[in-house]
Structure 1
């Protein structure tokens, strides 16, 4: 079982940084330090392996969502995002390759889980506690933009804080202009 998890964890990192086309069995075998016949013993083919990666990702998103529910401020949320950088990058590739029905299925599921979990802190950060409908709309619109922009380098304290501050400014301007 240990070898199987090594394959999955290393494959998960590979997918997160290079997407599905970045999964190369020979390179993966070198990274894991196990010969590639072990891969075929555990998974038979890349399709089955990918399904394991998707399930692994779902488990990580459930963990991420639990932490998001516990966040009480922006700094805590940013720290959670930094801790789950690989998961966010994996999700980015699901989004990029959502024309694949399996990826789309997991993208929809993970977005629903994480989106529902983050909504309270999201509304608080954007000062929209009184309007959860608007908070959900802003979340839906900004998620696409967020995943278009994130990279291994941008998921850091400064970039994330700037990103959220830009969203806060935008929401404040909308609210201000709505009252005129």
Structure 2
């Protein structure tokens, strides 16, 4: 039991560090300094960095499951979904860094799996939020674009409800303007 608790100290610290700074920050000496522990403890619990990274992925899967469970309860994008994202800031940032780590296919694979699960949960809510009357498939593709746009702009410092509100509102206005242009073109009332 004590061994598991001590290993957890390392994985939680590594998880937070990865969320804040990305893959390149995961260095045994850096973790040992942060925890004020001897790096021999790291080797005792994990053996090497690859085993540790596997533990971080396992931990992320657990935290992502909690995040997904919370968004299943959401009834509105603004503010409920935004609040859940902020509540799960560390896993959300960890997830973003999984995609940014290009040389680790297992990172990308886990991130894609979790994103697909989120898409299923968010489908109806996002479609309704945009006011789409037709295809929820198109709405989900747009959700992915918006999520990617927000991820590109997001940092540990700026991830809050207002940041999400601005980004998503901007995306919603774009799609509404495109729908209006399309409707005007269909009725022949478009003016140039």
TM-score of the superposed pair, with normalisation by structure 2: 0.87
Q: Where in structure 1 are there 5+ consecutive unaligned residues?
A: none
The structure that has the greater radius of gyration is: 2
Query: 1:162 matched to which residue of 2?
Result: 166
Does the aligned pair in 2 maintain the 1:92–1:147 contact within 8 Å? yes
Runs of 4+ residues over 4 Å off in structure 1: none
Give 1:5's match in structure 2, choosing from 5, 8, 12: 8
SS at match of 1:128: coil
Does the aligned pair in 2 maintain the 1:126–1:167 contact within 8 Å? no
TM-score of the superposed pair, with normalisation by structure 1: 0.92
Query: 1:153 matched to which residue of 2?
Result: 157
Q: Does 1:72 align with 2:72?
A: no
SS at match of 1:65: helix
Does the aligned pair in 2 maintain the 1:81–1:88 contact within 8 Å? yes
Q: Distance in 1 between matches of 2:138 and 2:37?
A: 50
RMSD over aligned Cα atoms: 1.5
Q: Where in structure 2 are there 5+ consecutive unaligned residues?
A: 185-192
After TM superposition, the structure 1 = structure 2 runs for residues 31-180 of structure 1, keeping only pairs within 5 Å, are 31-73=34-76, 74-128=78-132, 130-180=134-184
Moved more, 23-32 or 158-167: 23-32
Q: Distance in 2 between matches of 1:128 and 1:57?
A: 33
Does the aligned pair in 2 maintain the 1:154–1:160 contact within 8 Å? no
Q: Distance in 1 between matches of 2:22 and 2:132?
A: 35
Q: Distance in 2 between matches of 1:131 and 1:154?
A: 32
1:88 Cα deviation (Å)? 1.4
Residues paired across the two proteins, number? 180
Query: 1:25 matched to which residue of 2?
Result: 28
SS at match of 2:156: coil
1:93-138 CA distances to partner (integer Å, 9 max, x unpaired)? Answer: 1111134211121121121122222222222322226431221120
Query: 2:17 matched to which residue of 1?
Result: 14
Query: 2:189 matched to which residue of 1?
Result: none
